Every structure is written in structure tokens, then in C-alpha cells.
């Protein structure tokens, strides 16, 4: 099931880019880059705890406004408010940040993020751990 979700998201079927509002297209671009980089290690220039730095680089590479911080919690006031646990929303936790790509059941969301098991990876987190849900914005 997880593999099917990843394949659908990577193919752009979960958030259609031609007829969706700009924010959904932007979120899909971020998801596509992150899923294409699954297994990648810490980018050069990012500190030891690199989830926020990695997300910032992906935002910039997709033409979106970067946050400009290496702290996950700093994303709590980034961009615009998003629907909790919505595909494409940025899930901000006290010490980790990533982008929602699916649901794992039991109140958990699946995110793709940097610095999960020391690589870009998929992980499931309780939605109750979120301190904020944010949507990416254009420069």
C-alpha cells in the first residue's frame, strides 16, 4: 500500500498539477523533488540536524520562498496556514519538519523529510505531534 501511495504521488496523480490551485501545484513540486531524493544523505552546508535545512533547499529549488532557518520549529510561522494532515502540507513538530504525503492509519500521517534515519525518507508520525500545519508560498 505504501509503495502505491508513493508511486501515485511521484507520478503527480494525487494532486493534479494542471487543474489544481497554485498552492497544490507548489506542494506537488516539493513532494516530487523529495520523493525523487529518497535515500539521499545530508546536503552540504546543512548542520547535523538537517531536516529544516533540507526542506529549505527543496523550497528554494522549486521556486518557493525558503524559510531561511535550520530550526524545524521556525517553520511554525512559515507561509500560510494549512488544513491539518492535508497532503502537501508542511507538518511542523518541535524538533522535526516534513511534508505530508499520505496517512498511515491510527491518527498518523506519513511525511517525507530529511534527517529521518539520517537520510531523506518516509516516516509515520502521530498528527498530535504537530505544532503547526503550513502551506508553501511563492517568493
Cβ-based neighbours of 106, under 8 Å, separated by 6 or more: none
Instruction: Decide: 88 and 28 in contact? Cβ < 8 Å.
Output: yes
- C-alpha cell at position 138: 511563492
Q: Please give the distance of CA 29 from its chain centroid, rounded to a whole number.
A: 10
Q: What is the pLDDT of residues 66-84, one digit of tens each?
A: 999 999 999 999 989 999 9
* 46 beta partners: none
Q: What is the pLDDT of residues 78-127, one digit of tens each?
A: 989 999 999 999 999 999 999 999 999 999 999 999 999 999 999 999 99
Confidence label for 29 from pLDDT (cuts 50, 70 and 90): very high
Q: Which helix (H) or strand (E) holds 107?
A: none
Mean pLDDT across the stretch 52-70? 94
- CA dihedral sign of residues 131, 16, 40, 119: positive
CA distance 69 to 45: 12
Cβ-based neighbours of 44, under 8 Å, separated by 6 or more: none
For the segment(s) 2-135, the CATH number from 1.10.10.10, 3.90.1720.10, 3.40.228.10, 3.40.50.620 is 3.90.1720.10
Q: 7-43 b/e with 16+ CB inside 10 Å = b?
A: eebbebebbeeeeeeebbbbbbbbbbbbbebeeeebe
Confidence label for 25 from pLDDT (cuts 50, 70 and 90): confident
Amino acid at each position: 500500500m505504501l509503495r502505491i501511495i508513493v508511486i501515485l504521488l511521484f507520478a503527480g496523480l494525487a494532486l493534479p498539477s494542471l487543474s489544481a490551485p497554485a498552492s497544490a501545484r507548489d506542494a506537488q513540486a516539493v513532494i516530487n523533488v523529495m520523493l525523487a531524493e529518497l535515500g539521499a544523505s545530508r546536503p552540504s552546508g546543512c548542520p547535523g540536524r538537517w531536516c529544516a535545512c533540507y526542506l529549505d533547499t527543496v523550497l528554494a529549488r522549486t521556486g518557493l520562498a525558503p524559510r531561511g532557518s535550520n530550526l524545524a520549529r521556525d517553520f511554525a510561522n512559515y507561509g500560510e496556514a494549512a488544513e491539518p494532515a492535508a497532503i502537501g502540507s508542511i507538518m511542523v513538530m518541535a524538533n522535526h519538519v516534513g511534508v505530508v504525503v499520505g496517512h498511515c492509519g491510527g491518527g498518523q500521517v506519513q511525511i517525507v523529510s530529511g534527517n529521518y534515519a539520517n537520510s531523506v525518507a518516509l516516516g509515520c508520525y502521530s498528527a498530535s505531534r504537530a505544532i503547526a500545519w503550513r502551506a508553501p508560498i511563492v517568493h
